[in-house]
Structure 1
Amino acid sequence: MENQTVKRNSFPWSQVIGFLLSVALTFAAVWIGIRTELPYGTIAILVFVLAFIQAAIQLFMFMHISEGENGIWQIGKMLSAAFIALVIVLGSVWTLNSMH
């Protein structure tokens, strides 16, 4: 019973760190999009990479995807879903760009 009281009253450092990382990644994406002279394709790739990193941070910090009995299975399911989504998106882009 004592451990639950201590845990309930402790400061949520992981949520604060996750929030600050999410805000920093959002500002980085905006800065890359507005202030850099990179080609459009490079900007899009960098913004998508930052978005995937931010999604992973939110899954682990806020949704606690790795906690619980089946934490490793949850991570495996998320990785396989992300792989399928990437295959669909990249396959669609490749198909549409290959059409003449």
Structure 2
Amino acid sequence: MMSHEHNAAGAAHGNVKQYTIGFILSVILTIIPFGMVMAGGFSRGLLVAVIAITAIAQVLIQLVYFLHMNSSSEQRWNVIAFVYTIVCIAVLLIGSVWIMNYLHLNMMI
């Protein structure tokens, strides 16, 4: 069995082992914060930190195991497009917060 199969467009697809590993890691990264919230007794700061860290890890797992983004030459344009999208969203969000904060400060005068 080949580790990667290609369709007509040249896109690589994973095998059952990769999908299973990705699924198990995703479930674990979902259960950890859920269990902490349901158990209670943790500080709010710790819960927010754990949720944020597991969310970022979850996104990376999804990108690698299900969308097959990696540093191979076949995926280079997909990775570049993804990074460009993240930069655009970050500029939009940070710029919006900055403008709203600036307007709020000017309205208080």
Q: State the TM-score, normalizing by the size of structure 2.
A: 0.59
Bigger-Rg structure (1/2) = 2
1:29 partner SS: helix
Which of 52, 56, 59 is 2:56 aligned to?
A: 52
Contact 1:32 1:43 in 2 (8 A): yes
Which of 9, 12, 18 is 1:14 aligned to?
A: 18
Bigger Cα displacement from structure 2, 75-84 vs 24-33 = 75-84
Alpha-carbon distance in 2 for matches of 1:85, 1:45: 22
Alpha-carbon distance in 2 for matches of 1:25, 1:17: 12
Q: CA RMSD in A?
A: 3.4
Aligned match of 2:9: none
Aligned residue pairs total 91
Q: 5+ unaligned residues in a row in structure 2: which ranges?
A: 6-14
Instruction: Describe the shift of the 1:74–1:28 C-alpha distance in structure 2 as closer, same or farther (beyond 3 A).
Output: same
Give me the identity figure in percent.
20
Alpha-carbon distance in 2 for matches of 1:59, 1:27: 19
Q: CA deviation at 1:46?
A: 1.7
Q: State the TM-score, normalizing by the size of structure 1.
A: 0.63
Which has the larger share of helix? 1
Instruction: Describe the shift of the 1:79–1:38 C-alpha distance in structure 2 as closer, same or farther (beyond 3 A).
Output: farther
Matches within 5 A, 1:56-67: 56-66=60-70
Alpha-carbon distance in 2 for matches of 1:73, 1:16: 26
Q: 5+ unaligned residues in a row in structure 1: which ranges?
A: 1-5
Which of 43, 50, 56 is 1:39 aligned to?
A: 43
Alpha-carbon distance in 2 for matches of 1:83, 1:42: 28
Alpha-carbon distance in 2 for matches of 1:85, 1:37: 35
Which of 73, 79, 100 is 2:77 aligned to?
A: 73
Alpha-carbon distance in 2 for matches of 1:30, 1:86: 27
